[in-house]
Amino acid sequence: MKRFPIQKRTLAILVVLLPLLALFVYVALRSGPLAPVPVTVARVENRSIAPALFGIGTVEARFTYKIGPTFAGRIERLEVQVGDLVKAGQILGAMDPVDVDQRIRAQDAALKRAEAQLSEARARQTYAQTQARRYKELLSARATSEEILAGKNNDLQIAEASLSAAQQEALRISAERAALIAQHHNLSLIAPVDSLVALRNADPGTTLVAGQAVVELIDPQSLWINVRFDQIHARGLSANLAAQIVLRSQAKAVQGQILRVETMADAVTEEMLAKVVFDQLPEPLPAIGELAEVTVALPALAAAPVIPNAAIQRNAGQLGVWQVIDGDLQFTAVTLGDADLEGQVQVREGLEVGDQVVVYSAKALTSRSRIDLVDQVHEVPR
């Protein structure tokens, strides 16, 4: 009876110490660097994937018309505002003519004067002609001297020369007048085609240099997207492929297609350029310069062994996957084929359909790692 309390105490101690010891062993083996690495595995599937290309670009107008004066000058009037639709030939505004009108009037007066001079010269010539004829007849009747006839013939030649000079002078002045009128016409800012006013850079009264644009017109029907694809992900890019366009201002995707792939790639940014047109222009029109995400779907490929790209790792300089064979890890080098945007990659060499590969792991694996197959890795606490 005396030993009983000690027995009870021993039992109590065991109750406390044994779980503690068990917990300790668990902690030592299941946590820290000695613990097995939780991994998830997947089987290599034989399926078809549809690769796609992804690029971003900005909305641009194919045709932009910069309308401005050809001479330095000041804007007199500008009748259009941004957003106005204009017709071909419509006068958008005009530059200040300064003295062109006055110079035209001066040319008008000069022309009149030239015309008066012309009629004077003509009158002189007619008179000189008559005189020459009369004296010729008189000479044939021996009523005058040859010297006087020669003088009259000389007068006629001079009168004819004066007439010709007066005619040319009139021509010159009318040509100069026409030039001034053409210049006056040139001061008008005229729309070359039916278009939309996209930009109004200056207001009446502003002085501009030659060639500076007053308004910019775009053809709203010619909006396209200048898309940039990274060269490394641009395999298969070609004209006429269907494209899905998401404008930054609109969450909804609209359809379009690749109009052309530019011959010149961007050497600095290592990107390919392509122009994508809308199948149907969105309403309201997207703003020029708006950012757009473009996804180009390529034709689906024939079924082939496919793995998730999360499984691909580089080990000792080789690209491959960790294969699970009979519960052991083995690194298998693979040759990869095409990939789609959802993270599926074709395997050309190295794996067979049905092989088990590690997809996710809680830490980097080595061939000595012990693994613990789980359903989800990211739920596991660190």
Partner 1 sequence: MISLAGRDIMNAWGKFVFTGLGLGLLIGVTLSMAGIYRGMVDDGKALLDNSGADLWVVQKDTLGPYAEASSVYDDTWRGIHAMPGVARVANVTYLTMQVRQGDRDVRSMVTGVMAGEPGTPGWPPYLVAGRQITRGHYEAVADIATGFNLGDRLQIRRNHYTVVGLTRRMVSSGGDPIVFIPLKDAQETQFLKDNDAILQQRRRTTANPNFNRPQIPGLLEAVIALQSSNAYVNAVLVQVATGHDAEEVAQSIRRWKRLTVYTRSQMEEILIGKLIATSAKQIAMFLVILSIVSAAIVAFIIYTLTLGKIREIAVLKLIGTRNRTIAGLIMQQSIALGIIGFVVGKITATLLMAPIFPKYVLLEPLDSVIGFVAVVVICILASIFAIRAALKVDPAEAIGS
DSSP codes, 13-65 = HHHHHHHHHHHHHHHHHHSGGGSPEEEEEEEPEEE----EEEEEEEEEES-EE
Per CB under 8 A, the segment of 20-28, 141-149, 176-184, 218-226 that binds partner 1 is 20-28
Is residue 9 a contact residue for partner 1 (CB under 8 A)? Answer: yes
Cα–Cα nearest to 288, from 358, 207, 348, 217: 217
Is residue 211 a contact residue for partner 1 (CB under 8 A)? Answer: yes
Is residue 2 a contact residue for partner 1 (CB under 8 A)? Answer: no
- Provide the mask over 135-174, with x wherever binding to partner 1 is found by CB under 8 A and - wherever it is not: ----------------------------------------
Is residue 377 a contact residue for partner 1 (CB under 8 A)? Answer: yes
Residue with tokens 């689906």: 300
Given 123, 319, 325, 373, the residue binding partner 1 (CB under 8 A):
319
**Beta carbon nearer to partner 1, 168 or 207:** 207
**Beta carbon nearer to partner 1, 356 or 361:** 361
Element spanning 265, H or E: none
Given 230, 290, 338, 372, the residue binding partner 1 (CB under 8 A):
230
Residue 226 to residue 243: CA distance in whole angstroms: 13
If you count them, how many residues does the chain have?
A: 382
Element spanning 113, H or E: helix 100-140
* Shortest Cβ 346–partner 1 spacing (Å): 12
Per CB under 8 A, the segment of 115-123, 127-135, 171-179, 358-366 that binds partner 1 is 358-366
Element spanning 166, H or E: helix 146-186
Given 60, 115, 194, 293, the residue binding partner 1 (CB under 8 A):
293
Given 3, 142, 252, 314, the residue binding partner 1 (CB under 8 A):
314
Residue 116 to residue 296: CA distance in whole angstroms: 76
* Shortest Cβ 63–partner 1 spacing (Å): 19
- The set of long-range contacts for 315-324, using a CB threshold of 8 Å and a minimum separation of 24, is 320/350, 321/350, 321/351, 321/357, 321/358, 322/39, 322/357, 322/358, 322/361, 322/365, 323/351, 323/355, 323/356, 323/357, 323/358, 324/39, 324/41, 324/356, 324/357, 324/358, 324/371, 324/373
Given 316, 326, 327, 352, the residue binding partner 1 (CB under 8 A):
316
218 contacts 260 by C-beta, under 8 angstroms: no
- The interface with partner 1 within residues 242-271 (CB under 8 A) comprises 268-269
Extract the tokens encoding 13: 């101690």
Is residue 312 a contact residue for partner 1 (CB under 8 A)? Answer: yes
Is residue 24 a contact residue for partner 1 (CB under 8 A)? Answer: yes
Given 2, 32, 99, 327, the residue binding partner 1 (CB under 8 A):
32
Residue 53 to residue 227: CA distance in whole angstroms: 11
- Which phi and psi angles does 332 have, rounded to 5°? -115, 125
373 contacts 39 by C-beta, under 8 angstroms: yes
Given 122, 233, 260, 275, the residue binding partner 1 (CB under 8 A):
233
* Shortest Cβ 278–partner 1 spacing (Å): 21
Is residue 317 a contact residue for partner 1 (CB under 8 A)? Answer: yes
Which residues contact partner 1 by CB under 8 A? 6, 9-10, 12-13, 16-17, 20-21, 23-24, 27-28, 31-34, 54-56, 208-209, 211-213, 229-230, 232-233, 268-269, 293, 308-310, 312-314, 316-317, 319, 336, 339-343, 345, 359-365, 376-378, 381-382
